[in-house]
Amino acid sequence: MLREVKVEDAIGMILPHDLTQILPGEFKGRLFRKGHQVTEADIPALLSIGKEHIYAMELQPGYLHEDEAAQRLAKAIAGDSSLRLTEPHEGKVNVKSEIHGLAKIDKAFVDAVNAIDEVVLSTIRSNTVVQAGASLVGTRVIPLIVDEAKVVEVERLAAARREEGFTLLEVKPFRKLRVGVITTGSEVFKGRIQDKFGPIVKEKVAQLGSEVVDQRFALDDSEAIVGEIHALLALGVDLVLVTGGMSVDPDDRTPGAIKQAGARVVSYGTPMLPGSMLMIAYLGDVPIMGLPGCVMHDPYTSFDVLLPRICAGETILRSDITEMGYGGFYQC
């Protein structure tokens, strides 16, 4: 409801439009924006621009200002985690990560919230690598004043989802893995060409806080590759990366060697381009990845999708691979 009130009586009320301040020769611009909730500290500023009376909206019981609504929506998805909420700005509140890690977001909850009229919950994609300080979520409501029941419904959905065992939003920290690399290819082993795989893989591993502790070279020979896999495992590495030799050419022995080493293959091939020829397997608890040549020259491949998840402590399942097809075409 719009009312004309003395500025001293407007505390707690909401401005229905922007109020402008003019300082001749110095400044002309917005002093208070539409939707601002008047506080006692605002009174001198309002009087200074000649406003002894203003039009204001009074907040009725059962309704929320957009700022409070956005704050409650953000708290609902963040829960009691270490995630950081920003102050409201233009009716929006963001949820930020405090660490470098892997963002995990409950898409089913996000969809359920956005099915509620006039409520907005916008997120980055799950399994995105984020830096400390990165925004993960933005919340707001569409109108300036919203029915509180809609926010209460979001809070109810969040509580119910958590009771079912789901985590709505988190950032998993990356573990510091000891990584072993086996570079295959007789042309590299015999010094005919320079290894281009190693530096790229080392950089990608380092960006996630892990370290390549050993790199070995092997001929295009299954027994040689198997021997190097077991040698790295004997060193206690947490992850083995076997580069090259992943196509269907007769000299490409990496997939067979990984199987021959005794690994349980989750998938040979992914529905992602580039990176369709990647293999992911496990020997005991240690993941072994066979990396195709595209990792050397394409900036984003299936390796870049799966490596962060492994560094965050996740075990890759066959279902994780099948889900990579949707949105996995990068113009290969």
- Within this chain, do residues 44 and 16 fall inside the same structural domain, yes or no? yes
- Within this chain, do residues 168 and 253 fall inside the same structural domain, yes or no? no
What is the CATH classification number for the domain harbouring 48? 3.90.105.10
- Within this chain, do residues 100 and 7 fall inside the same structural domain, yes or no? no
Domain closes at, from 107, 138, 173: 173
What is the spatial distance between Cα 162 and Cα 155, in angstroms, rounded to a whole number?
11
Model pTM above 0.85: yes
The predicted pLDDT at position 251 comes to 61
- Within this chain, do residues 68 and 83 fall inside the same structural domain, yes or no? yes
The tally of domains found in the chain comes to: 3
- Within this chain, do residues 253 and 162 fall inside the same structural domain, yes or no? no
Find the length of the chain: 332
Residue 53 lies in a domain: yes
- Within this chain, do residues 45 and 85 fall inside the same structural domain, yes or no? no
Residue 330 lies in a domain: no
Say what angle helices 148-163 and 66-78 make with each other, to 10 degrees. Answer: 0
The predicted pLDDT at position 189 comes to 82
Range(s) of the domain holding residue 9:
2-57
The predicted pLDDT at position 92 comes to 94
- Within this chain, do residues 275 and 227 fall inside the same structural domain, yes or no? yes
Ranges of H-type helices in 170-297: 186-189, 197-207, 222-234, 254-260, 294-297
- Within this chain, do residues 105 and 36 fall inside the same structural domain, yes or no? no
In what helix (H) or strand (E) does residue 302 lie, and over which residues does it extend?
Answer: helix 302-311
Residues lower than pLDDT 50 in the chain: none
The predicted pLDDT at position 18 comes to 85
| Residue 241: strand pairing partners | 181, 289
- Within this chain, do residues 150 and 196 fall inside the same structural domain, yes or no? no
The predicted pLDDT at position 181 comes to 98
Ranges of H-type helices in 40-185: 43-48, 66-78, 107-114, 148-163
239-243 and 169-173: which strand pairing?
unpaired
135-141 and 119-123: which strand pairing?
antiparallel
The predicted pLDDT at position 263 comes to 98
- Within this chain, do residues 128 and 192 fall inside the same structural domain, yes or no? no
The predicted pLDDT at position 3 comes to 85
